[in-house]
A = this chain, B = another copy of it.
Amino acid sequence: MQEHIDRPTLILNAAQSLVQTQGYNAFSYADIAARVGIRKASIHYHYPSKSDLGKALIVRYRTRFRQDLTLIKQERCNAFHKLERYVGLYSTVLQNEHHMCLCGMFAAEMETLPQAMKEEVQGFFAEHVAWLTAVLEEGLRTKTVTYNGSAEAEAQSLLAGLEGAMLVGRSYATASWFEAAAHQMLVRLQASPS
């Protein structure tokens, strides 16, 4: 049942895992080569420079996340449940070998990244804030979500909370740190049934 996975994908998989655990500046082509079982030169054939690889990493990550967001949006469930599902996406990332959000990690290293990568990272966050803002507005209308102030500010606050909870929670061995903080954010947003 073992699927054939092409080289470029295997390289991206290894690279993504390395970025999410150690950061973009902390891994080398040698690390990927060791994990995939090929030579460094072969990686350069598929991704000539490290920034090409980095760019491809974010593009794929954004595409996958965009699909998840679209799926959640289409689900027949209320806005609060959509937020729960959204938080679940982050929980899943973290539970997978204590991975940090790829773009959260890139955000930390932002100043050292080539321009093409910076723009992708900014696009990721802008996209998520826009998605969250829409869901929060829907939640207010349908009275399944509660908050004060603008939906956009609340979206920024929630996104910040989740990225920060991954960041800090990852520095501890216990997985519960993230879960406690994230649960607190969700409960706060839940409208009490009237």
Contact = CB atoms under 8 A, between A and B. Distances in A.
Interface stretch (A39-47, A78-86, A99-107, A137-145): A99-107
A91 to B, nearest CB: 13
Contact of A164 (B167, B177, B187): B167
A154 B188 CA distance: 10
A109 B107 CA distance: 12
Given A23-B25, A25-B26, A163-B167, A149 B184 contact: yes
Contacts of A160: 160-162, 164-165, 167-169, 181
A170 interface: yes
> What is the size category of the interface that chain A forms with chain B?
35 or more
A116 to B, nearest CB: 14
A152 B111 CA distance: 33
Given A156-B165, A163-B164, A171-B121, A26 B187 contact: no
A176 to B, nearest CB: 10
Interface string A93-119: 000001010001111111110000010
Contacts of A164: 104, 159-165, 167
Contact of A108 (B105, B153, B180, B181): B105
21 contacts: A22-B109, A23-B108, A25-B26, A98-B111, A104-B164, A107-B167, A108-B108, A122-B172, A125-B168, A153-B180, A157-B180, A160-B161, A160-B162, A160-B164, A160-B168, A160-B169, A160-B181, A161-B161, A162-B164, A164-B164, A167-B167
